Amino acid sequence: MLTKLEFYGVSDIANQLMRSYLNYRYQRVVIKDKITIKWSSEWEPVKHGVPQGSILGPLLFLVYINDLSRTVNSVAKLILFADDTSIVISNSSIEEFKSSTNLVMKQTVNWFQSNYLSLNYNKTHFLQFLTKKQNERKIQITISNSIITNINSTKFLGLTIDNTLSWREYISRLTSKLNKACYAIRVIKPFMTQNILRTVYFSYFHSVMSYGVIFWGNSHLSNNTFRIQKRIIRIIINKGKRDSCRNLYKQLQIPTFPSQYIFSLLLFVAKYRDLFLSNSEIHDKNTRFNYNLHLPHTNLTLVQKGVFLLWKQNLQPFTNSY
């Protein structure tokens, strides 16, 4: 840890301060039951790592694993978020893909061993992304005599991603959460004013509905989300299930689900404008569409429905302002 800090520029007095902070630390394990009887282990010196529960702990951990991406960046893309690591490998050749996968896993294990860390094989999974017309390739990954489990879906930063990017499993779980929020508002409605119900809506329903919506909002399954939103709007306003919600949204000043989806896409493009090219950056022809964002050519429907292309049909009228 101290060597890495010095490599990143934390040297001299600052490094000595961190050495004093990390050295001569002790920790133990305490187990407490319902009768307040405690069992505890002996105090042992902390030879590796940082003090648990400390404010500097997460920052020092990120510094410690910062060079992991350099290990595999030649054949794979590493995505790090706290202690959650995802490795993305792509190759059109199945044999080269297998070779790259084995190489990356070997390099990763070697890095873990060199840095006194251990890989949790029970939480390490392999997910193969496919198109609907593509058959799954049978690939078995083995590391240090441990078999990596093949899965069809995984949870990533709160989103459940399946191997065909259909978002079926995520939307199913989301629908369950939104139905519970709808029931909660129905229960508290007799005791709350409309303004408070609107606040509860944004806290317990809208925040959940809009999370990651730029990724799954284009799925045909998201229509269920829109139906639940209409139901909760009618509950707040005290309208029947056959009444139109068009004016109710305006009355409560709540965006509809499709509007929220388009707005989230617009925010994404505005925030990450450097990821998109305009037509003027592609060619030097003076056309009427010079300042429009450039639409890459692709034949795969899955890509056309992705975040980087959906702005074309939803946001192109707004892009001239950039």
Report pLDDT digits (tens) over 38-47. 788 888 888 7
Query: What's the chain's Rg over C-alpha atoms?
Result: 26
DSSP code for 39: E
Distance CA 227, CA 235 (A): 13
Nearest Cα neighbor of 82 from 55, 108, 58 is: 58
Structure-token pair, residue 166: 């259909």
DSSP-based three-state secondary structure for 106? helix
Distance CA 204, CA 183 (A): 11
CB 276 within 8 A of CB 266: no
Exposed e or buried b for every residue in 179-191, given b needs 16+ CB within 10 A? eebbeebeeebee
Q: What is the pLDDT of residue 205?
A: 93
CB within 8 Å of 233: residues ≥ 6 apart? 239, 245, 248, 249, 252, 254
Distance CA 124, CA 150 (A): 9
Structure-token pair, residue 146: 């441990």
Residue 109 buriedness (CB in 10 A; 0-12 / 13-18 / 19+): middle
Query: The tokens 């939104």 sit on which residue?
Result: 178
Q: What is the pLDDT of residue 183?
A: 93
Residue-wise pLDDT for 128-150, tens only, equals 888 777 777 777 777 777 788 88
Asked if pLDDT for residue 266 goes beyond 80, the answer is: yes
Phi and psi at 234, nearest 5°, equal -65, -35
Residue 156 buriedness (CB in 10 A; 0-12 / 13-18 / 19+): middle
Structure-token pair, residue 221: 């399954």
Structure-token pair, residue 281: 């950056």
DSSP-based three-state secondary structure for 118? coil
**92-98 mean pLDDT:** 83
Which of 18-27, 231-240, 277-286, 296-305 bottoms out in mean pLDDT, i.e. has the lowest?
296-305
Across the chain, mean pLDDT equals 83
What's this model's pTM, rounded to 2 decimal places?
A: 0.76
Asked if pLDDT for residue 89 goes beyond 50, the answer is: yes
Per-residue confidence band for 189, with pLDDT thresholds at 50, 70 and 90: very high
Distance CA 291, CA 200 (A): 41
